[in-house]
Chain A
Amino acid sequence: MLTTKVKKRAYLLAATLTVSVVAIFFILKSLSSNILYFKSPTEIKNSNDTNFNKKIRVGGMVKKNSLEIDSEEIKFTITDFENEIMVSYSGTVPNLFTEEKGVVAEGKLQDKKFFIADRILAKHDENYMPPELKKIMKENVK
């Protein structure tokens, strides 16, 4: 039933598709540092060519009990549970910004452990539940 024409088209398509998938894979791989929306504290610690004048984004969790808010600035620690970076920021924060939640800070590194942010974005996780349920879960943990 399969004519040679049909087979020819199928082979041609399969070949070009494979080639382009491989090509795209390598393109994405070489671009991967640009595709990353933010760097984790570990990635910053391990990178050798840290540029202190370039704006970068650092992301991770806001460490528990690290958030200090006074009238002039907000201080907190971003952690990826291996390494940490202290962040200083003055300005408004999104509603979802709290301890033990995801955060992305945009700004400049002062040194590898200290970061001055000029914008804070909140990154929430994939869990959705009603508030009553969250209360029950918290009590169970205690």
Chain B
Amino acid sequence: MFNIFHNSNLFKWIEKLIYFINSIFFILLLVALSFALILSPADYLQGDSVRIMYVHVPAAWIGLASFSFIALLSLINFIFKIKYFSLITKSIAPIGLMFTCIAIITGSIWGQPTWGTFWAWDARIISMSILAFFYFLFICVHKLFSDQEIADRISSIIAIFGAINIPIIKYSVNWWNTLHQPASIKILGSSTIHSSMLLPLFLMFFVLILYCALIFLMKYKTEIIRIKKKNLKRL
């Protein structure tokens, strides 16, 4: 049924994709960085500190998106028991944790010159820290339980319940008074970021997504080799 997900076919594609991403990555990174740091204008109010947005916002998006994806696959895996899905979620989680932490750290660096403080206990920052905690739990479970099946089940449950936090993060700035500003880019309606600043934002997002894909593919490849090695021993 899941023929495309079958490891032996996938392996060839993973090799090709890793090669492809490696070959275009540096040029794209240079273009994105030059737009983000040099070519884009400074903000009328925040000045050059607005450039922190070009790493902060994509990192936060990736943190949120990858957790949503993990939760979705975990949900399907929990109900239908599809083994390959847990390999995928396991390979995504560390990248998600890394970008969530980057979002929190760059956010606090951005907070100092704009808000006047590194840290504020407002709803957006608390809920984002909870997300990092859920990632941490998810990864810990895989490290702690050597029995693959038990680890899969517990981590799926963590991901599914952790997903309740996602809409809370998204709407925290609308539901409560927060120091964090409301969303600039809305799912419906126009964005409140000028197009000359949207371009570097999306370029950086694209580059970081490519980076995520690269790490994910390498991790997934490692997992496949690990399984095959186990199978060799059984011969």
Contact = CB atoms under 8 A, between A and B. Distances in A.
A94 B116 contact: yes
Contacts of B37: none
B177 A96 contact: no
B177 A40 contact: yes
Q: Which 3 A-B pairs have the closest CB atoms?
A: A94-B116, A130-B41, A134-B44
A121 B116 contact: yes
B181 A129 contact: no
B176 A128 contact: no
Given A104-B179, A126-B181, 12 more contacts: A13-B79, A20-B164, A24-B168, A28-B168, A32-B176, A37-B120, A37-B179, A93-B116, A121-B179, A126-B192, A127-B192, A131-B43
Contact of A24 (B47, B164, B177): B164
Interface of B is mostly: loop
Interface string B208-223: 0000000000000000
Interface in A12-30: 13, 17, 20-21, 24, 28
Contact of B43 (A21, A121, A130): A130
Given A9-B79, A13-B79, A129-B197, A124 B116 contact: no
B114 A37 contact: no
10 contacts: A6-B79, A37-B179, A94-B116, A95-B113, A121-B120, A123-B181, A126-B192, A127-B184, A128-B194, A134-B44
Contact of B115 (A24, A121, A128): A121
Contacts of A127: 184, 192-193
A141 interface: no
A98 to B, nearest CB: 8
B78 interface: yes
Given A24-B164, A37-B123, A133 B194 contact: yes
Contacts of B45: 96, 101, 124, 134
Given A21-B164, A40-B177, A104-B179, A123 B115 contact: yes
B2 interface: no
Interface in B66-86: 75, 78-80
Q: At the interface, is chain A mostly helix, strand, loop or mixed? A: mixed
Given A24-B164, A37-B122, A94-B114, A128 B80 contact: no
Interface in A97-127: 97, 101, 104, 119-127
Contacts, number: 113
B19 interface: no
Interface residues of B, number: 40
A129 B43 contact: yes
A21 B165 CA distance: 10
Contacts of B113: 94-95
B58 to A, nearest CB: 15
A29 to B, nearest CB: 10
A129 B194 contact: yes
Nearest to B41: A130
Contact of B176 (A20, A36, A93): A36
A75 interface: no
Contacts of A35: 123, 126, 176
Q: Quick one: which of B120, B168, B177, B182 has the most chain A CB within 10 A?
A: B177
B114 A124 contact: yes
A125 B46 CA distance: 11
A115 B35 CA distance: 44
